[in-house]
Chain A
Amino acid sequence: MDSQGSPRKAGALLLLVVWNLLFCQNVHSLPICPSGAANCQVSLRDLFDRVVMLSHYIHSLSSEMFIDFDKRYAQGRGFIAKAINSCHTSSLATPEDKEQAQQIPPEILLKLILSMLYAWNDPLYQLVTEVGGMQEAPDAMLSRAKEIEIQNRRLLEGIEKIVGQVHPGVKENDVFSVWSQLPSLQAADEDSRLFAFYNLLHCLRRDSHKVDNYLKLLKCRIIYDNNC
């Protein structure tokens, strides 16, 4: 039985892979340069197109998540007032307007972006876990959380590749912003727990917008020479 089944399985798998290659054109398709392909050289333009697409998508999801959560759980609780200055990435020296963003060198900006993405790895994972544990969480929220987590990892890969092409030899970033709000996410008090979620989603929305904006800036600067 097995001997009969395995060639068939292999055939089916091969067919599936070919199908994916041919028809899956969106960002959710195969990764660029699967590991092991030494001579794989994707152009910088394609890399940037890809990461911009990813970052745009991630921010759309984050925005929807926040708006949903706000409408559903946070009305009249005054969470926004409490959410002032409470993002764990606020310690990162990110540019805060156009001039600052244009003055900063691209490599530094890329490093900053990478730091931010690394800083969000753990919180996103915890978000997925906690939203999954929430009984009252709507399915859309959970699926969005999972999607964001997945796409965030892909975005990280892409930017690392860009860094490898634009500024090879750059040392890895040692500064990690630590997120320490897990206990709040798991708090027994409903109000505290909801605020923890609100805060996390609010910060995620903002940081994803930052990343998106910086990448679009960089793309126009590096690829199109400020002539988008």
Chain B
Amino acid sequence: MADFARRQKKPLIHCLSQEKGANMKGNVVSTTALVLLFLNISLLNGQSPPGKPEIVKCRSPDKETFTCWWKPGTDGGLPTNYSLTYQREGEKTRYECPDYITSGPNSCFFSQKHTTIWKIYIITVNATNRMGSSASDPLYIDVIYIVEPEPPQNLTLEVKQPKDKKPYLLIKWFPPTVIDVRTGWFTMEYEVRLKPTEADEWEVHFAGQQTHFKVFSLYPGHRYLVQTRCKPDHGYWSKWGLESSIEIPSDFPTKDTTVWIFVAVLSAVICLVMVLAVALKGYSMMTCIFPPVPGPKIKGFDAHLLEKGKSEELLSALGCQDFPPTSDCEDLLVDFLEVYDNEDEQLMPPHSKDYPGQGVKPTHLDPDSDSGHGSYDSHSLLSEKCEDPHAYPSTFHIPEVNEKPENPEENIPCIPDPQSISKEGNGPYFPTDESKSSTWPLPQPGQHIFRSPYHSIADVCKLAGDPAGALASLLDKAEKDILKSSKTFETGGEGKVDEQKEMEDAHSETKQDASWPLLREKAPLIHGKPPDYVAVHKVNQDGVLSLYPKQNENGHQPEKSRAPEGNKEYAKVSGVMESNILVLVPHAQATNMALCEEPAKKAPPSLEQNQSEKDRASLTAASSNCRGPLGGLDYLDPTGFVHSFH
């Protein structure tokens, strides 16, 4: 500092000495120099105006008086006076602090006289010393928002052990002296905390506006410390008051038998409830907890069938779709037999590409066009017609791809010559499904049918409007075609055929060529001409299916009007009797029938009634919707009985 001053002085004096002549300049310069000198001297002495003081806080213990404390700034090395001035809201006058003493150094105490509630005070502290003064930032306060009381007083502890009652520790205190709670001017709330001497955590309890507190849960033989504090209804909490301690006597009973009694009763009740629940719902509970292990179950297995001893039915019930087992559907579908009404029966390979849904198609007789094949107008179609193969205009024609489509009047052949049919050793399949219809599915009128009279059975079936899937599954090489045609039919017709099932059926059933022994009255027409097709006329007791041509052109609505004949379905051809009578094996899938919308139909007696009924009697009932999970179509290997044709 001194060096600095000296350095300052030197150039100054130098200047001064150099410019003696300039009076004016000299005056200014000299004044400046003096001032600087003075300042330098002061700095040298370390004196300066006081630093800015800061008001720390203001507090009111009772809502009647308040105190403000400030923190002085630097004093500048000189004795500094501090003064507090204030101004009240709505008044112009500035007052000075009335009491600097009561509250200690650097404080100002406002007595009751000087305290106004609900009014803003603007308080400023000034620091003054010889060098200057500085003022603090003004503080705006309202007394009601700065209330912080003193801790409660006269804390007393007492262990009370009344007779026949639980013992407890009674804690009592008084509000701080200055507080006026009696008149309601001041509303106080209290808090108590206690802990055993050696514990770390305090146990805090809110005591509301009361001035006593009872503590029941204590450890006997321990020393407890207790403290209280208080707070105004709107304000700050006080500090914790003085600690009090008390020794809990060792004979302080802590056992609480009532609790144990309560626990025991509760447990008993719970046990009782559980016992009742188990007793009432024991089984269901056990089932819930230990669910029964499901035994092995074969889908479609019917124990009754087993008892009856009809293995075929049983197997059919199981839905052996690949029974007879086949390896390759394609092969089987390649050829199908064409069975004419004469002895010359040839197997014609299907040209499935040409015709939709070609396969073994039952040749249908177009009733409209009397092609000379004759029409099935006799009831027992098979029986009659087959007697004279030649007479039959429609023998079973294995659908021939090459055949012209517009040749619907294919003979519905009798059951084809097994030999011819069995070129591949396949016999006709007579797929039936769970649908009740035991007649051949008849095409619905107006359906577009493929040109070829030979259609896959499926197609035919579809034509019939029945679930033709079973039929469709006949030996058709182009299964897909079948499906396609089926689909067209289905959509056009009932639309319920399950294509997939047909496919499966086709696979399973059309493993072999089967001359479609179905007697169809009508060949399916593509152009919307309702075909003639064979309807099962009746089924004899031993499952002989007699077919007859369908004469009714229009009312070919099969199934619908047909009354269910019973629940027997014919799932398989067990044999072919002479004169083209198919012996069908009843299908025991009664349950699957339920799935079928078509009423169960068994051909038999009621068949002769009306055409529609006859129509209904579709053998296959290849309604795919009637197909149960088994797919509904079971076919016997006709190889076994193919030879019986003829």
- Tell me if B332 is interfacial: C-beta within 8 Å of chain A: no
Of A24-32, A169-177, A217-225, which stretch is located at the interface?
A217-225
A206 touching B112 in the complex, CB below 8 Å, given contacts A101-B185, A216-B187:
no
CB-CB under 8 A from A81, the residues of chain B are: 138, 140
| Least Cβ–Cβ distance between B186 and chain A, in angstroms | 9
Shortest 5 CB-CB distances between A and B: which pairs? A220-B184, A80-B140, A216-B184, A217-B184, A85-B90
Would you call A98 an interface residue if the criterion is a C-beta within 8 Å of the partner chain's C-beta atoms? yes
Which of A56-64, A120-128, A140-148 sits within the interface?
Answer: A56-64
Chain A residues near B (Cβ < 8 Å) = 56, 59-60, 63, 80-81, 83-85, 90, 94, 96-99, 101-102, 206, 209-210, 212-213, 216-221, 224, 226-228
Chain A CB within 8 A of B118 CB: yes
Is B89 within 8 A of A228, CB to CB?
Answer: no
- Chain A residue with minimal CB distance to B185? A98
Shortest CB–CB separation between residue B182 and chain A, in angstroms? 6
Whether B158 is near chain A, meaning CB under 8 Å from some CB there, is no
CA distance A146 to B353 in the complex (A): 82
Contact A220–B183 (Cβ < 8 Å) = yes
CB pair B184 A210 closer than 8 Å: no
- A96 near B183 with CB under 8 A, answer no
Is B118 within 8 A of A98, CB to CB? no
Q: Give complex CA distance A105, B332 in Å.
A: 117
Q: Are B184 and A219 in contact (CB under 8 A)?
A: yes
Cross-chain contact of A98 among B63, B140, B142, B187 (Cβ < 8 A): B63
Other than the known A97-B64, A102-B185, what 9 A-B pairs have Cβ atoms closer than 8 Å?
Answer: A84-B90, A85-B90, A94-B118, A102-B183, A206-B144, A209-B144, A209-B234, A220-B182, A220-B183
Given contacts A59-B234, A102-B183, A227-B182, is CB(A84)–CB(B64) below 8 Å?
Answer: no
Instruction: Specify the chain B residue showing the minimal Cβ separation from A84.
Output: B89
Q: Interface residues of B toward A: which range?
A: 20 to 34
Q: Is the CB of B142 within 8 A of A221?
A: no
Contact A96 B116 (CB under 8 A): yes
Assess whether A206 is in contact with B142, with CB atoms less than 8 Å apart. Answer: yes
CB of B182 within 8 A of CB of A206, answer no
The residue on A at minimum CB distance from B138 is: A81
**B319 CB to nearest chain A CB (Å):** 51
Task: Tell me the bound Cα distance from A218 to B233 in angstroms.
Answer: 16
Q: Distance in Å from the Cβ of B88 to the closest Cβ of chain A?
A: 9
Bound CA span A226–B187, Å: 13
Interface pairs (24), CB distance under 8 Å? A59-B234, A80-B140, A81-B140, A83-B120, A84-B89, A84-B122, A96-B117, A96-B118, A96-B119, A97-B116, A98-B63, A98-B112, A98-B185, A212-B233, A213-B144, A216-B185, A217-B184, A218-B184, A220-B184, A221-B183, A224-B184, A226-B182, A226-B184, A228-B184
State A210–B117 Cα separation when bound (angstroms). 9
- Please indicate the chain B residues that have their CB under 8 angstroms from the CB of A217 in the complex: 183-185
Inter-chain contact A206/B118, CB cutoff 8 Å? yes
Contact with A along B82-125 (1 / 0, CB 8 A): 00000001100000000000000000000010011111101000
User: B183, A228: Cβ atoms under 8 Å?
Assistant: yes
Interface centre among A206, A212, A213 (most CB of B within 10 A): A213
Residues of B within 8 A of A84 (CB): 89-90, 120, 122
CA of A221 to CA of B184 in the docked complex: distance in angstroms?
Answer: 8
Q: Cβ of A221: which chain B residues have Cβ within 8 Å of it?
A: 183-184
Contact of B234 among A63, A219, A220 (CB under 8 A): A63
Which residues of chain B have C-beta atoms less than 8 A from A206's C-beta?
118, 142, 144
For chain B, residues 585 to 637, give those with C-beta under 8 angstroms from any C-beta of chain A: none
A219 to B234, CA, bound (A): 17
Q: Hey, which chain A residues are within 8 Å of B138, CB to CB?
A: 81
Q: CB-CB contacts of B169-193 with A at 8 A, as 1s and 0s?
A: 0000000000011111101000000
Measured in the bound complex, the distance between the Cα atoms of B187 and A60 in whole Å is 14
Give the contacts of B234-272 with A (CB-CB under 8 A).
234
A120 nearest CB across to chain B (Å)? 15
Find out whether the CB atom of B183 lies under 8 angstroms from the CB atom of A213: no
Bound together, the chains give a CA A63 to CA B64 distance in angstroms of 21
Q: How far in angstroms is the closest Cβ of chain B from A209?
A: 6
Point out the residues of chain B lying under 8 angstroms from A97, CB to CB: 64, 112, 115-117
Query: A226 to B90, Cβ gap below 8 A?
Result: no
Residues 112-167 of B at the A interface (beta carbon under 8 Å) = 112, 115-120, 122, 138, 140, 142, 144
Tell me the nearest residue of chain B to A207, going by C-beta.
B118
Measured CA separation A90–B89 after assembly (Å): 11
Residue numbers in B under 8 Å from A60 (CB-CB): 234
A228 to B179, CA, bound (A): 12
A49 to B140, CA, bound (A): 34
Closest-by-CB residue of A relative to B87 is A84
Tell whether A228 pairs with B64 under 8 Å between CB atoms, given A56-B233, A97-B117, A210-B118: no
B5 to chain A, nearest CB (A): 42
List the B side residues contacting A102 at CB < 8 Å. 183, 185
Give the residues in chain A near B144, CB-CB below 8 Å.
206, 209, 213
Instruction: Determine how close the nearest CB of chain A comes to the CB of B144; give it in whole angstroms.
Output: 6
Are A228 and B182 within 8 A (Cβ)? yes
With the chains together, A102 CA to B112 CA distance in Å?
14
A209 to B232, CA, bound (A): 13
The residues of B that contact A94 with a CB separation of less than 8 Å are 118
- Least CB separation from B188: chain A residue: A228
Q: Judge whether B181 and A228 touch: CB under 8 Å.
A: yes
Q: Is the CB of A213 within 8 A of B90?
A: no
